[in-house]
Amino acid sequence: MRQPLVVANWKMNMTSPEAKDYCQRLRELLQETPTLAEVVVCPPFTAIETVRNAFLGSDLQVGAQNFYPAPKGAYTGEVSISMLKALDCRYVIVGHSERRLRFGETAETIGEKVKVAIENGITPILCVGETMSERSLGMTEKVIGQQLLTCLKHLQPEQLPQVVVAYEPLWAIGSGRSATAKDAAQLAKYARQRLQRLMNGNTEAMRILYGGSVTPENIQEFAAAEGVDGVLVGGASLNADKFAAIARAYGVK
Ligand code: PGA
C-alpha cells in the first residue's frame, strides 16, 4: 500500500519570516483536519531550518529542491547532501526541468544525485517530463522511458522503491494548463512497466506523482487517478490554504 505524497515546491519564493507564517498556518489547518497523505514542503535552502523548526512535533516534513552530489569541498555556492541531512530533510527534488533547462543539468548529473541521495538515506523525488513538441510527435513514452533509465541507472533493482518519480510535463508547469488525470495514470502505468521490465525492480512499491498546474480545483481528478500516488505542487503551494486543500483531497483522518 503506497501512502499518498503531497509535495510543495516553493521554487525561489518565500523569505524565512514568510516561511514561518506560512508553516504556522499550514500546521493549524492540517491539525484541524489531518490528511491521510504524507505532506512535504521544499523551501529554498535559506528557509529549510525555519520550516523544519515550524514542523517539529507534527507529521509534516521538510525537503530540499536541490543539492550538489560531492561530499564536500571547493564548490562555491553549492550545498551537500549531508548539509540537508543535518537539517532533517527527508526528501530532495532532483532533476526538475527548470534545473535541466536553466542550469544545464544533465541526465548524468541527475543520476549521480539520485544515487548519492539514496546512499545518504534521503528520498530523491526525480522529475521527468516531455516538451510540447515531443508530445505532439507522439514521443512522450519514449522520452520519459529514456529519462528514467539514464537517471536511475546507478541503482540496484531493490533500491527502486526508495525513489519517488514525479511526472511533470514541461508544458504543464506554471502554465495553468495541466495534463489530464488520464494522461498521468497512463504515464504512471507505463513507467512502472518499463522499469519493471528493464531493471526487474519492485515498481509496485515505488511512488509516482504528477506535477504541473495542480490546483485545489483540479486535485480531485488527480487524487482519483489510478497508480498516481500524489502530486508535486508549485504555484498553488505558495498559499497555505490552497496547499492544505490539495493535501486533504487524499482523504482526512
Ligand atoms: P506548478 O509547478 O504547480 O506551478 O505548475 C510544478 C513544478 O514545477 O513542480
Decide whether any atom of ligand 1 lies within 6 Å of the 95 Cβ: no
- What confidence score (pLDDT) does residue 202 get? 82
Contacts of 111 (CB under 8 A, 6+ apart): 150, 151, 152, 153, 154
Q: Whose CA is nearest to atom 2 of ligand 1?
A: 234
Catalytic residue among 32, 49, 96, 158: 96
Decide whether any atom of ligand 1 lies within 6 Å of the 235 Cβ: yes
φ, ψ of residue 163 in degrees (nearest 5):
-110, 145
Q: Is residue 205 part of a domain?
A: yes
Q: Is residue 70 part of a domain?
A: yes
Decide whether any atom of ligand 1 lies within 6 Å of the 212 Cβ: yes
Q: Whose CA is nearest to atom 3 of ligand 1?
A: 234
- What confidence score (pLDDT) does residue 106 get? 95
State the 10-residue block means of pLDDT for the chain, 253 residues long.
Answer: 96 98 98 96 98 98 98 98 98 97 95 98 98 97 96 92 97 96 97 88 92 98 98 98 98 89
Give me the CATH number covering residue 144.
Answer: 3.20.20.70
- What confidence score (pLDDT) does residue 224 get? 97
| Domain count within the chain | 1
Closest CA to 69 of 84, 58, 51, 88: 84
In the structure grid, which three cell numbers stand for residue 168, read together?
A: 511533470
16-32 vs 48-55: helix axis angle to the nearest 10? 30
154 is catalytic: no
DSSP string, the chain: -PPPEEEEE--S---HHHHHHHHHHHHHHHHHS-BSSEEEEE--GGGHHHHHHHHTTSS-EEEES---SSSSSS-TT---HHHHHTTT--EEEES-HHHHHHS---HHHHHHHHHHHHHTT-EEEEEE---HHHHHTT-HHHHHHHHHHHHHTTS-GGGGGG-EEEE--GGGTTSS-PPPHHHHHHHHHHHHHHHHHHH---GGGSEEEEESS--TTTHHHHHTSTT--EEEESGGGGSHHHHHHHHHTT-B-
- The whole-model pTM stands at 0.97
Domain around 225: 5-248
- What confidence score (pLDDT) does residue 248 get? 97
Q: Is residue 253 part of a domain?
A: no
Question: How many whole angstroms separate alpha carbon 251 and alpha carbon 248?
Answer: 5
Q: Which of 128, 233, 243 to mutate to test the pocket of ligand 1 (most atoms within 8 A of CB)?
A: 233
Question: How many whole angstroms separate alpha carbon 198 and alpha carbon 200?
Answer: 6
Q: Is residue 102 part of a domain?
A: yes
Q: Which of 9, 13, 92 to mutate to test the pocket of ligand 1 (most atoms within 8 A of CB)?
A: 9
Q: Is residue 224 part of a domain?
A: yes
- What confidence score (pLDDT) does residue 99 get? 97
- What confidence score (pLDDT) does residue 253 get? 86
Q: Which of 213, 217, 218 to mutate to test the pocket of ligand 1 (most atoms within 8 A of CB)?
A: 213
Decide whether any atom of ligand 1 lies within 6 Å of the 173 Cβ: yes
Contact 209, 229 (CB under 8 A): yes
Contact 92, 55 (CB under 8 A): no
130 is catalytic: no
